[in-house]
């Protein structure tokens, strides 16, 4: 069990090293801004009438 854990830890360490380019500290990578994503209105269901505001104006 100990040998498996050591192998797993070394593989995880290698994956982390691959994610950061050489010579670039992890703190200098692009930050995540956390900006909210605006909600998207649901798509209309085919066959249901559109609300009056979405209809094309009649001439």
Whether 10 has a pLDDT exceeding 70, the answer reads: yes
More confident: 11 or 49: 11
Question: What pLDDT does 20 receive?
Answer: 64
Residue 36 confidence (pLDDT): 85
For the question of whether the overall pTM of this predicted structure is more than 0.85, the answer is no
Q: What is the dihedral of CA 4, 10, 12, 15, to 10 degrees?
A: -140
pLDDT digits (tens, 9 = 90+) for 26-51: 555 666 778 888 898 888 788 777 66
In angstroms, the CA 56 to CA 22 distance is 57
Given 3-state DSSP classes, what are the helix, strand and coil percentages for the chain, each rounded to the nearest 5? Answer: 40, 0, 60
Helix (H) / strand (E) containing 44 = none
The per-residue pLDDT for 53 is: 65
């Amino acid at each position: 069990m100990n040998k498996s854990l050591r192998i797993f830890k070394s593989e995880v360490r290698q994956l982390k090293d691959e994610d950061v380019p050489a010579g670039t500290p992890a703190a200098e990578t692009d930050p995540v801004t956390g900006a909210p994503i605006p909600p998207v209105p649901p798509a209309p269901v085919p066959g249901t009438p559109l609300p009056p505001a979405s209809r094309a104006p009649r001439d």
